[in-house]
Structure 1
């Protein structure tokens, strides 16, 4: 279990942003919190960030925003190159108060890498401090990506969720799942929306999308991922992908990063 970094515990408004660079093997981080908000970014590979509120899948083109004192853990199925920044509470008051995945613009990526090179002992006046303030300004413009998979504590909904996580390709209708958990399709549909904010069908599509991104990032072909996730054709899979993210599945393949 990977312990949390002490960098997120630094409290000093004269350091608006502090950073960390970690090159890790396959890891499962311990659940932890920190008083600084964090932008968790991996310049290579895909990671999962898990909290009691849900699961976020983070490909290398994106990052996850984690507000102050939100318990979370990081899971990586392959080596990670993390370049992460932490924002002091004095500077994060107008930043999001919930976890979210954001698109990392070329400018924000370069700012993160520059912050890592500068380190965490820059003077309160000077170009380094001004660059850190620019980072905060960029975070205020962050655009969310739909890579959040909300969870549920309701036993019937959770039973369906746990089963689908184990078998994302399962194409059973909600009527089938309702019988398995001992309720009606109408009740299960209502519970899904109430507990997750998504319909059953939308939740399963999101699960498959996240599973696909992880597999594509590991080098699996689009065709193989499509069929193993229950799609009848790679074109149907690509259509779902574009409708959710606005890009083709190949955009998440290491062979075709563009």
Structure 2
């Protein structure tokens, strides 16, 4: 499936253009847009991958993708996408890196309204003013902690790839060091240098992102906890609360709301 043609429109008189489409369980090919993009799933969890990392995006969040950044969207279930694209003439004050943002109720409704308006609005009039309100909201976007940094170092990447395949793996840094032919001290330093996170913090973030996806699909807290390697749901809940400030059950309720 090719990127929407609207993402390639360059016209400062159209600060924001929009598109709505559905994805089944699929991976879109890596691609770029001339415009920066805010990508939002009305229902369901998606992953967005770049060369620098992976972003997990539940329906309570949106992902900001700068113009010309190659990325790939992965849907592990059927999802319904609403997306807006910002003309380069209007995006200089917005982030130049990929990030997940907390989607305010106002911005969510503005996105849905933009989709209904379409992309043939006049440069003067209420439709254009609404697009400028969207720009005001984007300038106040708040980042959410759903970023998982990647690494090109062969030893670190070997650990990362194995953990992505099996997040519940209980191996300590010493165990992984033996597997990749390194000392634990060297591997620990490499993890911090390559990802900006310790091995333990990186694995917790991976498990958190996996948990968000599974909870979004309706799995129980106990099942998610055990399948991600936690000895009890209380230990999992403590991790979840320390990262996001709320319990898994409360987070799920908020996300559905």
Shorter-chain-normalised TM-score: which range? Answer: over 0.9
1:178 aligned partner: 177
Matched, 1:222 2:225: no
2:230 aligned partner: 231
Contact 1:219 1:254 in 2 (8 A): no
1:134 aligned partner: 133
Unaligned regions of 5+ residues in structure 1, if any? Answer: none
TM-score scaled to structure 1, two decimals?
0.97
2:86 aligned partner: 87
Contact 2:20 2:82 in 1 (8 A): yes
1-structure distance, mates of 2:22, 2:2: 14
- How far 1:252 sits from its partner (Å)? 4.8
Matched, 1:100 2:135: no
2-structure distance, mates of 1:69, 1:76: 21
2:145 aligned partner: 146
Matched, 1:55 2:84: no
TM-score scaled to structure 2, two decimals?
0.97
Q: Would you identify which runs of 4 or more consecutive aligned residues in structure 1 move more than 6 Å?
A: none
1-structure distance, mates of 2:246, 2:130: 31
2:167 aligned partner: 168
**Root-mean-square deviation (CA), in Å?**
1.3
User: Judging changes above 3 Å, is the alpha-carbon distance between structure 1 residues 17 and 94 closer, same or farther for their aligned structure 2 residues?
Assistant: same
1:10 aligned partner: 9
- How far 1:78 sits from its partner (Å)? 1.0
Contact 2:101 2:141 in 1 (8 A): yes
Aligned residues: 257
1-structure distance, mates of 2:6, 2:196: 34
User: Judging changes above 3 Å, is the alpha-carbon distance between structure 1 residues 30 and 178 closer, same or farther for their aligned structure 2 residues?
Assistant: same
- How far 1:35 sits from its partner (Å)? 1.1
Write out per-residue CA displacement over residues 165-216 of structure 1, whole angstroms, 9 at most, x where no aligned residue.
Answer: 1110111110111111111111101100110011100000000001111111
SS of equivalent residue, structure 1 residue 42: strand
Contact 1:4 1:30 in 2 (8 A): no
Contact 1:250 1:256 in 2 (8 A): no
- How far 1:23 sits from its partner (Å)? 2.1
1:209 aligned partner: 208
